[in-house]
Copies of this chain bind each other. A is one copy, B any other.
């Protein structure tokens, strides 16, 4: 909120000036969430967020891209371009027309995920852990971005309030 991500020191870690960034002991920096998740998944034994078989990896990355472009990035762009966001010092010139377009993309994307969640888990969202998290966080930002979840999206609203998956509930509460 104070603009720490716009300082030269932060820019040296991540020239895109965005979070999250993972600092490694050897002085290299990993950005963004997908890259950090890949690193954690490859480094630590346990349940995989990015998949183990070629098909799992392919479908999880497919759904991750959709969770980002249909929900998280669309909602984020609405926040930065159509609301006060983090204030004029951080937001600079805003492009409301583009932000409003993203609002439409988010509504369509929520409809898509709502229909997906109505399907059996083997087809729907339950088996795409990294993408589930991205979609859940995108929905979490929707209120502050003034992006409504369409009233027709009962599956999505239910999933949102119950927590996307057990791990999310554990960390963020029910």
- Which A residues fall within an 8 A CB radius of B? 15-16, 22, 24, 28-32, 34-36, 38-39, 42-43, 53-55, 57-59, 61-62, 64-66, 69-70, 93, 95, 97-98, 101, 112
Contacts and interface: CB of A to CB of B under 8 A. Distances in A.
A124 B122 CA distance: 41
Nearest to A112: B15
A66 B15 contact: yes
B95 A31 contact: no
Contacts of A61: 30, 34-35, 38
Contacts of A55: 24, 28, 39
Q: How many copies of this chain sit in the oligomeric assembly?
A: 2
Contacts of A64: 35
Given A16-B66, A16-B70, A101-B95, A54 B39 contact: yes
A134 to B, nearest CB: 13
Contacts of A35: 57-59, 61-62, 64-65
B32 A58 contact: no
A30 B98 contact: no
A126 to B, nearest CB: 15
Contacts of A32: 62, 65
A55 B66 CA distance: 25
